[in-house]
Structure 1
Amino acid sequence: MKRVIAGVAVATVTTFVAATPVQAAAADPVKALKSQFVAGKGVKFTDVVTLVEFAGNTPYLKRTGSFQFGRTGIVASDVSAKRTTDDPGIPSGIVWSLGRPERTIRIGTTSYYSGGPWAPSKGKTWIKHPNGMNAGFSGWYGQLVNVAEPATLKALITKGKRTGRTYSGTISFGALEKISPWLRNVSLNRLSGNSKAAVLRFRLTLGSDQLPQRLITVYPGSTHVSAAVGEDRQLSVETRYTGWGSRVTVKAPPASKVDNMGKREPTVRGGSRG
């Protein structure tokens, strides 16, 4: 009888030890993210951007979009943006560049812009740039932290303090730029010295599947959008992710509707970087 009990105990321990690495792997957010990198699959997201100041909070921009994955990560994106208020307190650059709804399709490194400040020739509705911004002019005012990138996700969960499935902490734009292709391509210029030094606060919540569910970032407007935005005013961006693993197909606009910008950059840019 003792031998039977001992045998059961050994089998139980062996089963537990064998199962532990599998459970640990499933609980790794970066591995969970990489498991989503299947051709033709992706994730959808929504952004709400708010100007935070002493007098109150003013939501001014909403974006909806999707990322299409390949075996190594994001291979295409489709982002639509629209300004949601005409409040006079909103920085003039935002009012100008987002006077009309804007949509940006990016496939590989090629961007297609429509709406917003873009002005294609008669009969065309899109402007093509071979190495353009990943989300048009709205990119500089939207969510700058892309947790659909493994290195970016790893940085946040490494730097953040964990409470349940939520990680909270801070990280500089300079540190993010080194690891994030999304941030490096959010504008046609690289980050300036002040922007690199700026620090953002983040709160990332994962779902029960360990995939990003909600991300909130907050940072000073003066070091990011415009020097005219006082130190007491900050930008808060809330992003929600849905449909992990759903089919996502991002297609280029019809060639007949596209104006080719060639290698030229736009003559105007948004934000404090030009």
Structure 2
Amino acid sequence: MKRMIASVSAATAVALMTGAPAQAQAQTAPADPVKALKGQFVPGKGVRFTDLTTMIEDGEGKPYLRRTGSFQFGRGGIVASDITSKGAGPADDRLNPPVPARTIRIGTTSYSQGGTYRDKMPRGKSWYKDPDGMTGDVDGWFSQLVNVAEPATLTSLFKGAKKTRTTYSGTTTFGRLAKVSPWFRATLPLRSSDKTVVTFRLTVDRNRLPQRLTTSFPVTGIFDSAGWEGKTISVETRFTGWGGRVSIKAPPANKVTTKLEDKDGL
């Protein structure tokens, strides 16, 4: 009996000892999402994401645009992005149907393919290079304007946000985003009002990293036109593969141009 008790006690002790590291690791996981995000900034690593944009009018929403993309990180944050977009449903009657487009951005230099540049390329070229270009062609205006992979943006959103265990919700404005977010400034360089209110809801995963972000804002914040009154853009972004390898490279130099052709004669 004594030997049995001793054996049980020894087994229990071993179980407690082997379980301790996992428990300690859980307790030391970053409680602050901003700190957790900064911990992801390793050269050659990154995250992937998908966007779905819905156009809402009179309470009815219609899918408008889908995007898939990735961010590549360096020690200071995002160093490159690669985003592909395509239409997700019927277009608004004041917009042409979204043309499939892809934008690679390295530093502040963007390489754009398709989209608004599709019919303006010189023969033999397929990418337009802009040394201070946007993050995603014109479609970017109708996509995710809030980049929670930027620590300064994340910090700004949390000020005054309502918090539950894994969710943060609240509002910000175009003006606040323009002050803290290089992504916002490059995505929407022109807009009708910095007072435009953006409503957001962010869910983080068990590692405190962004998992799902939903934002919405009135289209009149972009276009100062009565024709856009009552229309709202809602964007859902989902993040996957935090810490995975991401390598974004510029297109082949022989396919790149810095000059566009006006084939419509306008």
Show CA shifts across 1:229-264 (max 9, x none).
Answer: 443321100000000000000010001111124xx9
SS, match of residue 184 in structure 1:
helix
- Cα distance 1:148–1:55, how it changes in 2: closer, same or farther (>3 A)? closer
Larger CA deviation: 168-177 vs 131-140: 131-140
Shift of 1:159: 2.6
Partners of 2:132 and 2:143 in 1: CA distance:
20
- Cα distance 1:55–1:156, how it changes in 2: closer, same or farther (>3 A)? closer
TM score, norm. by length of structure 2: 0.83
Match for residue 210 of structure 2 among 206, 209, 212: 212
SS, match of residue 117 in structure 1:
helix
Q: Is the 8 A contact 1:141 1:225 kept in 2?
A: no
* Correspondence for 1:127: 128
Alignment of 1:91-170 (within 5 A): 92-93=94-95, 95=96, 98=98, 100-118=99-117, 119-170=120-171
- Cα distance 1:36–1:117, how it changes in 2: closer, same or farther (>3 A)? same
SS, match of residue 34 in structure 2:
helix
Shift of 1:143: 0.2
* Correspondence for 1:258: 256
Partners of 2:165 and 2:227 in 1: CA distance:
35
Q: Is the 8 A contact 2:111 2:129 kept in 1?
A: yes
Show CA shifts across 1:61-82 (max 9, x none).
Answer: 0000000000000000000001
SS, match of residue 66 in structure 1:
strand
Structure 2 residue 27 is matched with structure 1 residue 26: no
Shift of 1:91: 5.2
Larger CA deviation: 43-52 vs 151-160: 151-160
Q: Is the 8 A contact 1:173 1:197 kept in 2?
A: yes
Q: Gapped runs of 5+ residues in structure 2?
A: 1-22
Larger CA deviation: 204-213 vs 152-161: 152-161
Partners of 1:138 and 1:190 in 2: CA distance:
13
Q: For residue 43 of structure 1, what is the amino acid of its counterpart? A: V
Structure 2 residue 32 is matched with structure 1 residue 42: no
SS, match of residue 33 in structure 1:
helix
- Cα distance 1:183–1:228, how it changes in 2: closer, same or farther (>3 A)? same
Structure with max Cα Rg:
2
Which ranges of 4 or more aligned residues in structure 1 deviate by more than 6 Å? none
Partners of 2:115 and 2:181 in 1: CA distance:
25
Shift of 1:114: 0.2
Partners of 1:132 and 1:117 in 2: CA distance:
13
TM score, norm. by length of structure 1: 0.81
* Correspondence for 1:11: none
Q: For residue 154 of structure 2, what is the amino acid of its counterpart? A: L
Q: Gapped runs of 5+ residues in structure 1?
A: 1-18, 268-274
Q: For residue 185 of structure 2, what is the amino acid of its counterpart? A: R
Q: Is the 8 A contact 1:159 1:171 kept in 2?
A: no
Shift of 1:183: 0.5
Larger CA deviation: 30-39 vs 133-142: 133-142
Partners of 2:78 and 2:43 in 1: CA distance:
10
- Cα distance 1:245–1:201, how it changes in 2: closer, same or farther (>3 A)? same
- Cα distance 1:116–1:230, how it changes in 2: closer, same or farther (>3 A)? closer
Structure 2 residue 237 is matched with structure 1 residue 239: yes
Alignment of 1:180-219 (within 5 A): 180-187=181-188, 189-192=189-192, 194=193, 196-219=194-217
Q: Is the 8 A contact 1:221 1:229 kept in 2?
A: no
Q: For residue 65 of structure 2, what is the amino acid of its counterpart? A: L
Partners of 1:211 and 1:229 in 2: CA distance:
39
Show CA shifts across 1:155-182 (max 9, x none).
Answer: 1122310022101101111011100000
